[in-house]
Structure 1
Amino acid sequence: MSTLPRRTDVVVIGGGVIGTSIACQLAESGVETVLLERGELGSGSSGSTAGVVRSYFPGSPLTSSLAVRSTEAYHAFAERTGTDLGLERVGFLELFTDEQQVETFLGERADQHAAGVAVELVTAAQAGRFNRLLDERTIVAAAWSPEAYACDPAAIVHGYATAAEQAGALVRTHTPVTGIDPDGQVHTPAGTIRAATVVCAAGPWADTVAGLAGVRLPVSSYPIELLLTDAPPRHAAHAAALPMTLHPSSLRIRTWGDRVLVGMGRPGPDESREAWLDRVSRQLGATYPALAGRQLEHALSGDLDASPDGTAFIGRDPALPFVYAAGFSGQGLCQAPAAGEIVRDLLLGKQPWTDAAALTTERKPS
């Protein structure tokens, strides 16, 4: 016997931060909504992030605009619902190791400001005061954005899911989607449900889910691993948390309790994990001497969904009752509330707050 209703206005596929945000905003707008998650809520890419929401995205004022709106929405959601999202301001520091990087930043600074981002150029010495572990001699300057917050991704996912249920949405975990018919009929082991619209927010499985509906969604998935160092030495300790800090090598660090969380891409096509770890360790020690030679341990791993240009896909298929929100390239946590708003407005026939055409799969390459 089916545990699903026969019909609903919308089926949202994916119970991560994007899917739960969409379900919450649809349900609170009076849209009959069912969310289906193949595993546990937040068990996909939402569970393998560095746990920071930030508003500044170098090179992408469009993504920054979604992130600015989302940061504001998280604060409003926490205040409105009383949900503790673990928000703690830490700031975001982008390091520059040559003058060309500085010029690139200055060239787009006005667009970032127009997107609502608070970000400014700071000297190497100022950067060293923001991140006390940094060897100032290794950089020429940095960009500083104070609007970045450590957070609890699980609390965000469950907070949105709870709010969605309180607004009338049905949330079903351990319910994988096995088929999607052109008329919006969604098949699962728990039964079949017909939706006026299907929303794909399936993260690393988005292209597979879209394929079930006969939709091509150019999203790929790739593995990521985050590492932990042991605690910095006592002489480097300080009451303030380290900001999320990004180096041009893609090395990024932030405080994680009394340790340091480290990420730097993933092994290359012909690179072993051991060789990658050695490369990470050398870059870490060169940029942050207090962390030189420190043991790197596995912290988190998972798969992320990525678009070819790093900007998310949010839009509606022109021929089928199918809407997508995927390809967030590991930054869905920073964009989920704004993405949920856009999907909600598309389904309600309202004009979204931003140029949604710039987010569709039909957009021109940047």
Structure 2
Amino acid sequence: MPGPALTPFHSDPSLPARVDVVVIGGGIIGVSTALELAERGQSVLLCEKGQIGGEQSSRNWGWVRISRRDPREIPMMIEAIRAWDDMDRRTGRKTGYTRTGILFTAPTDRTYAQFDRWTRHLAPHQIECRMVSGDELDRLLPGHRMTVKGALYTPLDGRAEPQWAAPAIAEAARAAGASVLTGCAVRSLDMVGGRVAGVITERGRVACDAVVLAGGAWSRLFAGNAGIDLPQLKVLNTVMRTTRVEGPETSVWADGFALRKRADGGYTVASGTENTVDLVPDSFRLARRFLPALREDWRSLRFRLSSRWREEAREPRSWRPDEETPFERTRVLDPAPSQRALRQSWADAGRAFPFLAQAEVVQSWAGLIDVTPDAIPVISTIDALPGLHIATGFSGHGFGIGPGAGRLMADLVTGAPPIVDPDPFRFSRFLDGSVVRPDHGF
């Protein structure tokens, strides 16, 4: 089942013998980290087992938002938006980034009050974020037929094109001096004297001083083979795109759907509330750690038993450097979209916006989101394995925040003063007795 069409990206032909840093994973986080490091004069190798941006980084909604984020992410998202503002110039390529604002609709007095309380998190940063209703909402969403109390509106929010962005940033990293290899899985770390001395890839060994694991949905498996218990699960989200049609520029989230204008004139449509969770062996291994999140967000999750149980149960959890790995057997995760989510979100979007009757759905796909128990990422050094750094678990928020996360990760690798406080994203929060749960900011 083909996923969305990506900007073509051609791999470098050969593996360098030595670099300063190896980045594992060619999604938005990995390529942003590689660009930051290369621009600082570090020699970098980025290894991607499949294609640049081939998994969730090209399959997401394309939103670049600060609104309704976990408050712990806000400082990093501010930095990310600054980076997006300059990204086309910096890369010399189109990413589709534009500021259009995003509206989160509030169907009830309760949700209206919750969203209104959330606005206080942006007030210290002098970022406009307010509740709108009535005529103002109608001007922002002309022709809508929703019955809502109002909406949270943040003009700073915007969008970019997921199929363009990661390849553009990867090309810029290469122009800055990084080596970028696709179809090249990293099998394992090479440890000497208790610290990272290199990596073993399917094409051979590369010596390095530091490794950044930015493997998205694969990160837990790779980390586990290195002896690191990374609590991360996968959640499936389904997306569709339409033909070109005239409609609002402002993106909108509602109970049944999410909608944003695309650069090609069509729309990306997804469910605003439903994510599919395939029950797998890790669901039970990690159940206790994820319980606080499930208590808060269970209404947005649809659990099912599918073929993924069998697939992941058969998947090896450890291997030798000379053995074929799961990363080589599955180059690109391309799960089937949820037909239920497609039907429901398209019907709900059509009722809210009659103009969609003039559009056709031309493609649908799904992606697997890497989620943590508190729904914020790990961006951290790993004390137990000196030289290893992890940037993963972005919990569906990674595309927009990617350039900010890449900068923070590069700061941690190089020892530069961090652009934002990295403490909320430390891996050790899962080990030191910290309370680990999502914070919706209400």
Counterpart mapping for 1:132-171 below 5 A: 132-136=142-146, 138-171=147-180
Per the alignment, in what secondary structure is the counterpart of residue 178 of structure 1? strand
> What amino acid does structure 2 have at the position aligned with 1:127?
L
Out of 291, 296, 299, the position equivalent to 2:364 is 299
Residue aligning to 1:356: 422
| 1:96 corresponds to 2:96 | no
> What amino acid does structure 2 have at the position aligned with 1:197?
A
CA distance in 1, matches of 2:61, 2:39: 29
> What amino acid does structure 2 have at the position aligned with 1:28?
E
Q: Cα–Cα, structure 1 residues 357 and 116, in superposed 2: closer, same or farther, change >3 Å?
A: farther
CA distance in 2, matches of 1:285, 1:203: 33
C-alpha deviations, 1:252-302, integer Å up to 9, x for none? 112234443211134523599444444334433443355479865642322
CA distance in 2, matches of 1:313, 1:116: 27
RMSD of aligned Cα (Å) = 2.6
Which shifted more, 96-105 or 125-134? 125-134
Residue aligning to 1:219: 232
Q: Cα–Cα, structure 1 residues 296 and 160, in superposed 2: closer, same or farther, change >3 Å?
A: closer
C-alpha deviations, 1:135-174, integer Å up to 9, x for none? 24x1001111112333233432223222222222211111
Paired residues of 1:285 and 1:293 also in contact (CA < 8 A): no
| 1:61 corresponds to 2:74 | no
Q: Cα–Cα, structure 1 residues 352 and 28, in superposed 2: closer, same or farther, change >3 Å?
A: same
Structure 1 residue 115, shift from structure 2 partner: 4.7
CA distance in 1, matches of 2:175, 2:339: 48
Which shifted more, 286-295 or 67-76? 286-295
Out of 337, 343, 347, the position equivalent to 2:409 is 343
Residue aligning to 1:193: 206
> What amino acid does structure 2 have at the position aligned with 1:201?
A
CA distance in 2, matches of 1:124, 1:310: 33
How many residues end up aligned between the 2 structures? 356
CA distance in 2, matches of 1:160, 1:168: 13
> What amino acid does structure 2 have at the position aligned with 1:300?
W
Residue aligning to 1:316: 381
Structure 2 unpaired stretches of 5+ = 1-12, 277-301, 306-336, 438-442
CA distance in 2, matches of 1:61, 1:347: 25
Structure 1 residue 112, shift from structure 2 partner: 2.2
| 1:131 corresponds to 2:141 | yes
Which shifted more, 179-188 or 320-329? 179-188
> What amino acid does structure 1 have at the position aligned with 2:255?
P
Residue aligning to 1:255: 261
Paired residues of 2:116 and 2:130 also in contact (CA < 8 A): no
> What amino acid does structure 2 have at the position aligned with 1:103?
A
Structure 1 residue 210, shift from structure 2 partner: 1.5
Q: Cα–Cα, structure 1 residues 59 and 21, in superposed 2: closer, same or farther, change >3 Å?
A: closer
Counterpart mapping for 1:202-281 below 5 A: 202-229=215-242, 237=246, 241-249=248-256, 251-256=257-262, 257-264=264-271, 265-267=274-276, 268-270=302-304, 273-281=338-346
Out of 23, 34, 53, the position equivalent to 2:34 is 23
CA distance in 2, matches of 1:310, 1:303: 14
Paired residues of 1:224 and 1:304 also in contact (CA < 8 A): yes
> What amino acid does structure 2 have at the position aligned with 1:245?
V
Q: Cα–Cα, structure 1 residues 86 and 176, in superposed 2: closer, same or farther, change >3 Å?
A: same
> What amino acid does structure 2 have at the position aligned with 1:312?
P
Which shifted more, 270-279 or 9-18? 270-279
Q: Cα–Cα, structure 1 residues 111 and 274, in superposed 2: closer, same or farther, change >3 Å?
A: closer
Which shifted more, 145-154 or 346-355? 145-154
Structure 1 unpaired stretches of 5+ = none
> What amino acid does structure 1 have at the position aligned with 2:421?
D
For normalisation by structure 2, the TM-score amounts to 0.73
Q: Cα–Cα, structure 1 residues 293 and 154, in superposed 2: closer, same or farther, change >3 Å?
A: closer
Structure 1 residue 38, shift from structure 2 partner: 0.4
Residue aligning to 1:74: 84
C-alpha deviations, 1:152-209, integer Å up to 9, x for none? 3343222322222222221111100112233423111210112211101111111112
CA distance in 2, matches of 1:289, 1:86: 26
Structure 1 residue 230, shift from structure 2 partner: 5.9
CA distance in 2, matches of 1:8, 1:294: 49
Paired residues of 1:228 and 1:261 also in contact (CA < 8 A): yes
Paired residues of 1:124 and 1:139 also in contact (CA < 8 A): no
Residue aligning to 1:36: 47
Structure 1 residue 67, shift from structure 2 partner: 2.2
Paired residues of 2:92 and 2:172 also in contact (CA < 8 A): no
Per the alignment, in what secondary structure is the counterpart of residue 8 of structure 1? coil
CA distance in 1, matches of 2:362, 2:338: 12
Q: Cα–Cα, structure 1 residues 261 and 105, in superposed 2: closer, same or farther, change >3 Å?
A: same
> What amino acid does structure 1 have at the position aligned with 2:401?
Q
Which shifted more, 91-100 or 214-223? 214-223
Residue aligning to 2:23: 12
